[in-house]
Amino acid sequence: MSSTPMVTTGLIGGSSIVRSLSPAMHNAAFAFYGLDECYALWPTEASALAGRVVALREGRLRGANVTIPHKAAVLPLVDVLGEEPDVRALDACNTIVRHDDGTLLGLNTDVPGFLRALGAAGFDPRGADVVLLGAGGAARAVAWGLAHAGIRSLAVANRSIAPAEALLALLRRYAPAPRATAIAPESPDLASAMGRATLLVNATPIGADDQASPIPLDLLHPDLFVSDLLYRSTPLLRAAIERGARGQDGLEMLVQQGALAFEAWANRPAPVDDMRQAAQATRDGEMKGPS
């Protein structure tokens, strides 16, 4: 192996991607196969996005991941959009695959990544009554996946009502419709929805500071499965476990969406255990801080 692996993949996003766990995860996958390749971070301003995507067409790049704030803006910059899930309807692409002829395919692996993560934890969403906190890009992917997976009802609680209504409109138009409502987080409707819920998903950043919870903790009960999309244990998750509920942080979704991206780029099975271990080790090292 040469001393400098060739960059073949990377992450296009805003300046916050410097903390991404994706390089560790994908570099572990390349190492598993003995490929002398690596994954780079490409912080990109909106004005430079088109140029960044054009550059993917050339050379020996396999493709890229895309994260906030560019998941919607890349859609018109690629040649073909995935249909399962429907990237155009979702208006969010998190993976670009470069074909041999230089054409670019835009996929969304967040949706199946989320469902696979639930499956890995042994939770079957069919028939579930769901409370979804947040209505941003991640919440859209979660709602899309859950609606297609046959949940019974969905209550979307978001601090601003317009994005929650837009999410419901998306489901009405494109997804098998569960009973879906938008509720204000501070209204009594949240307590009723939580009383019925069997699945709670946190798709807001609240809890990233390891201090705050997105909902009052006394709404948690033992019949819940709590999926917090943050990549770490949070006050919400810890309180849920203390109350006898089951739960999962967002690392598994990250690993599963990354595994699907790797398979699309490399056309071979992702070494999921190695990828998970690398992401976990990097996360745990960062949480300890520099020594």
> Which residues in this chain contact ligand NAP in the complex, by CB under 6 A?
68, 110, 134-139, 158-160, 163, 203-206, 208, 229-231, 250, 253-254, 257
Q: Which residue's CB is nearer to ligand NAP, number 137 or number 178?
A: 137
Q: How far is the CB of 16 from ligand NAP (least distance, A)?
A: 9
Q: What letter does residue 207 receive in the DSSP assignment?
A: T
38/60 Cα distance (integer angstroms): 12
| Residue 71 is among the residues annotated as catalytic for this protein | yes
Annotate 106-145 with DSSP letters as a single string. EE--HHHHHHHHHHHTT---TT-EEEEE--SHHHHHHHHH
Q: Which amino acid is at 284?
A: D
**289 Cβ partners below 8 Å, 6+ apart?**
none
Q: Which residue's CB is nearer to ligand NAP, number 128 or number 255?
A: 255
- Closest residue to ligand NAP, Cβ-based? 136
Q: How far is the CB of 133 from ligand NAP (least distance, A)?
A: 8
Q: Which residue's CB is nearer to ligand NAP, number 5 or number 205?
A: 205
Which residue of the set 52, 62, 70, 71 is catalytic? 71
CA dihedral 188, 191, 192, 193 (to 10 degrees): 120
Q: Which residue's CB is nearer to ligand NAP, number 207 or number 271?
A: 207
Long-range Cβ contact pairs of 248-252 (< 8 A, separation 24 or more):
248/117, 248/118, 248/121, 248/123, 250/117, 251/21, 251/276, 251/279, 251/280, 251/283, 252/116, 252/117, 252/120, 252/121, 252/276
Q: How far is the CB of 91 from ligand NAP (least distance, A)?
A: 11
Q: Which residue's CB is nearer to ligand NAP, number 198 or number 257?
A: 257
Q: How far is the CB of 183 from ligand NAP (least distance, A)?
A: 13
Q: How far is the CB of 22 from ligand NAP (least distance, A)?
A: 10
In terms of Cα–Cα distance, which of 191, 201, 283 is closest to 245?
201
Residues taking part in catalysis: 71
